[in-house]
Amino acid sequence: MVMKKKYSNFIAVIIFAFLSCMFSLYFIRTGGMVLTSDSSFHISRVEEIYRNLKEGKVFTFTAAHTFSNSGVGNFMFYPTLFLYPWALLRFVFNPVTSFYLWYGFFLFLTMVIAYYSMLSYSSSKVRSYAFSLVYSLAAYHIHLGTWNYVLGEFTAYTFIPLAFLGIYHVLFGDSRKWKILSCGMTLIMYSHLLSVYITAMILVLITVGSILYKKGISKERIISLVKSGFLALLLVCPQLILFITDYIGQNIGTPQKSFAYTMTVMQLLEPSLNNTSSINRSVGIIIIITAFIGWYFVKNRGRERNIYIIGIIFLCLATKLTPWDLLSKTFVLNIIGQIQFPYRFNMYSSFFLAITTSLIIQKILEIGSDNYLKSINAVILTVVMVISYASVVTDTIARTNSNAIYLQKNTTALATLPVNSYVNSSNYSNIFTYLVLFGETDYYPKQSYASYNNINSSVNAQTIVKHEGYLNKRKISIKLVKTSANTIIYKAKATKDGKLDLPVVKYPHTKVILNGNATKFDTSDRGTIQVNVNKGINNIMIRYQPSKLFYVGIGIAVITWGILLVITISKVLLKIREHSIGGLRV
């Protein structure tokens, strides 16, 4: 019996691996991608990382090869860690196949994390298996990964179960498992800063609600919360240090706070019932059915009822049932305006309602005590979820097969990547001849930031992406000589001594080498590098070098993860030994 229980988890993981491979191959067979929304932003980031790795440089801080060679530092302030597997796959596979393999890897990771998170919460392998499939294959998750390519949020989705499992154990379960909360929040922060902000707000509300309901909290649980927070700080040291040294107080441009693209209830229901991932309003038919029938199954189960209600609240928050237009004129905008789009709450409604769905499926699958019947039910569930997935991605596959706009190489200044451009391994490199669809000037200085992703809204931004240089505020001809990891080299012929303004964004730890010598420089009116030059030919190397504290932070994070890994492996080996001894006794 012990052996059977031990191998059931292994079998589940094998099934997840098989499904993930199958779902990846489903896309790989198309041979191409259709680019929308955030696609070119993340593709350009991966391209930069890939080229730097080819040069033997591990860390990418600024854009030298991509983003119009502007030296923009979105790599420092928008997490990149989970883009590295994609970049590494580029060394073996073509660019399109690399992306779909990366997508499949994160599907697999989401399934495994969801399975073990639910197992820790419910101790039911049947329910864990159901939750893993429903949550991982939810329409909104697939939308993030393969339709709109919102890949920061897509990877964050993978670790959401860990964060909520962690807060569950700290507040209600085994508070000794507080490290789960630290790891969950850290991994979300490694993925998407906005998701960690929203998740943190939810966790705070859950904590406050728990304290009010139970009229207090034990000292032990408070200590667990504090320890969890401290551990998370150690794990995110590198990111925090970059923010402190190069972001805070630097007048860097970011998207405006807003509540845009709100939807009616019917605009949520229609695509969800059609089970499509082709629009951000859809959560899929399974989640919507659960929203309608879930109350019947949870009404007499306190904790499950609360989870279901939270899921319904997030569905409402994604729609105009919440008066977002009114709230945008209040202090609420300053608190949560960073979300920009209320449909982001679909990630959380998918999570909480998938928990309820797994309870319903568990009740159905465990009808009767016959193990053979239970196995048949599990097979039927798997088949149903595969069919559901095929339905969810139908529009995405159809869009890709349509080859609507075959992307040609751009020869026009200030041209943004056309929406719904089709690329395959042959024309993939043409992506980098255009401005990215969204985010070209994210993390530019405010004086050059292009509002609403419209390059025409900022003359300064236009001059930077067009590689324009100025001597004493008069335009001169400059030549981009070379780019390498975090480094840009320009050559300029100055007709007289003066201040040379180059089209490279300046950050506190940017360094400038003029004609072979390190030199002082200042900030131009564009927020770019401005250096004093002498008459004649000038070679200017601009390089970003982080503070030594960054590498200290890397060391702290690596050592901390190493200690956690050793502790985890030791506990797993101890459990295996205990089970082996128990099995011998049986």
517: β partners: 514
For residues 311 and 315, what is the distance between their CA atoms, to the nearest angstrom?
6
259: β partners: 340
For residues 308 and 272, what is the distance between their CA atoms, to the nearest angstrom?
18
Task: Look at the alpha carbons of 444, 450, 453, 454 in this order and tell me if their dihedral is positive or negative.
Answer: negative
Q: Are 280 and 319 in contact (CB under 8 A)?
A: no
| Cα three-residue angle 337-340-344, rounded to 5 degrees | 110
For residues 417 and 407, what is the distance between their CA atoms, to the nearest angstrom?
9
Q: Are 345 and 314 in contact (CB under 8 A)?
A: yes
The per-residue pLDDT string of the chain (586 residues; one tens digit each, 9 = 90 and over) reads: 343 556 789 999 999 999 999 999 999 999 999 999 999 999 999 999 999 999 999 999 999 999 999 999 999 999 999 999 999 999 999 999 999 999 999 999 999 999 999 999 999 999 999 999 999 999 999 999 999 999 999 999 999 999 999 999 999 999 999 999 999 999 999 999 999 999 999 999 999 999 999 999 999 999 999 999 999 999 999 999 999 999 999 999 988 889 999 999 999 999 999 999 999 999 999 999 999 999 999 999 999 999 999 999 999 999 999 999 999 999 999 999 999 999 999 999 999 999 999 999 999 887 766 777 778 888 999 999 999 999 999 999 999 998 679 999 999 999 999 999 999 999 999 999 999 999 999 999 999 999 877 898 999 999 999 999 999 999 999 999 999 999 999 999 999 999 999 999 999 999 999 999 999 999 999 999 999 999 999 999 999 999 999 999 999 999 999 999 999 999 888 877 776 665 544 4
Give the alpha-carbon dihedral of 49, 52, 58, 63, to 10 degrees: -60
Secondary structure tally for the chain: helices H, strands E: 22, 13
- Give the number of residues written for the chain: 586
Domains and CATH numbers, the chain: 2-30+79-398 (no CATH), 462-546 (2.60.40)
Q: Are 69 and 460 in contact (CB under 8 A)?
A: no
Helix 346-365 vs helix 95-122: angle between axes, to the nearest 10 degrees?
60
What one-character DSSP code corresponds to residue 415? P
**CA neighbours within 13 Å on the CB side: how many for 190?**
23
